[in-house]
Amino acid sequence: MEYEIESVKQLARQLEDDIPTLKLEDLQSKYMGKNGLLKQLLTDITNQSDEQKRTYGREANLLKHYFTERVSQLSSHITIDSSTEKIDPTAPFDINTPKANWPKVKGIEGTMHPLMQEMEHVLKIFQNMGFEIVESKQLDDDYHMFESLNIPKGHPARDIWDTFWTDDDLIPPAHTSTMQNRVMKERKPPIRVIVPGRCYRNEATDASHEHTFYQIEGVYVDKNISLGDMLGTIKTYLEAFFEMDLEIKVQPAYFPFVEPGCEFMISCPFCKKTGCSVCGYDGWMEIMGCGMIHPNVLKEAGIDPEEYTGFAWGFGLDRLVMIKHSIADIRRLHSGDLNFLKQF
Ligand code: DAH
């Protein structure tokens, strides 16, 4: 920010010099203490000429706001406890590690983010069911996002998943189905793969919509695979995830890459179909899209649809986590609000 008023400019420069050299408490008392420099700056508004008052007030307040932000960033800096072994943040973390053995960080008691806790949980369930894990890409191309999924140029379904393009014609994927073609091309049936990944949507956010979220795609291809196998596989997974028996139902839905396509629904895990605020007094919850992989999609991946059949699904992890933990607003998951996160 460029400040116009000379006294605000000077204080901003002084602040930048002091931040790296002073201790946090000294910074706070020098600037925000009773007679702190920022307090003085703000009271000085009365000494400004009438035409300067507005600009001065705005700039002085902005500087105060900037200072408060910087100080809260500094105070949230954490130091790793040197008495414990070095932490490698890239190392895979086993969620089953007893809490007492988790890496220690001085000053805070860390917990794994609820999304990552549940991601580990979901992956473990599918691994136990014989699925392999393949991560999706953060940037993908038109072929994997659309063409390979039976969505040619000009197809109206492109609109639902169109986000934005980079200068070199890549797209932040709007779903993890982008990996279907790769997964099938690179393997021979039987294929059992799940694809966790980040997705991006052109969405206005509200309590139940986020522009960025996690999805988990599943692909299963073999001889004689039927819709019954799909229903059984997804039900088994969801019962393990919610740790209870569930009733299921499907209703038809259109996705260009599956035929038939379905919306998979479960009986509400909270009210067991008697109706509650979580399921909107409906007793059922729509959990994911799924269906039998379209013959064109199999062919495009080099699999003969006369010989093999398969099913695929895609669900939002954030939504499942919201349901499981009764979180009312999806935006809290990405808010970085420590008071919220500490509950998990
Ligand atoms: N990709 C779809 C979406 O994000 C979800 C989906 C629906 C994935 C049906 C599938 C499927 O694999 O068969 O809206």
Phi, then psi, of 159 in degrees rounded to 5:
-60, -35
In the chain, the domains with their CATH numbers are 6-75 (no CATH), 114-341 (3.30.930.10)
What is the per-residue pLDDT for 105?
64
Q: What pLDDT sits at residue 35?
A: 86
Cα–ligand 1 centroid distance for 94 (angstroms):
29
CA separation for the pair 13, 163 (Å, rounded): 41
Query: In degrees rounded to 5, what are phi and psi of residue 18?
Result: -80, -35
**Cα(305) to centroid(ligand 1), Å:** 20
Give residue 89's pLDDT: 66
pLDDT at 221: 98
Report the atom number in ligand 1 closest to the C-alpha of 160.
Answer: 14
Give the integer Cα–Cα distance in Å for 278 and 272. Answer: 11
Give the residues of the chain that fall short of pLDDT 50.
Answer: 78
| CA 177 – ligand 1 centroid, Å | 6
Residues 263, 286 contacting (CB under 8 angstroms): yes
Which atom of ligand 1 sits closest to the CA of residue 219? 12
Per-residue pLDDT at 83: 55
Q: What percent of the chain has pLDDT over 90?
A: 55
Are 284 and 267 in contact by the 8 Å Cβ rule? The answer is yes
Closest CA to ligand 1's atom 4: 175
Q: Which one, of 310, 342, 341, 13, lies nearest residue 191 by Cα?
A: 310
Q: Residue holding tokens 């414990």?
A: 84
Residue nearest to atom 10 of ligand 1 (CA): 313
- What is the whole-number distance in angstroms between the Cα of residue 306 and the centre of ligand 1? 23
Taking alpha carbons only, the member of 299, 321, 315 closest to residue 175 is 315
Task: Output the CA 300–ligand 1 centroid distance in Å.
Answer: 18
Which residues line the pocket of ligand 1, CB cutoff 6 A?
175, 177, 217, 255, 258, 261, 289-291, 312-314
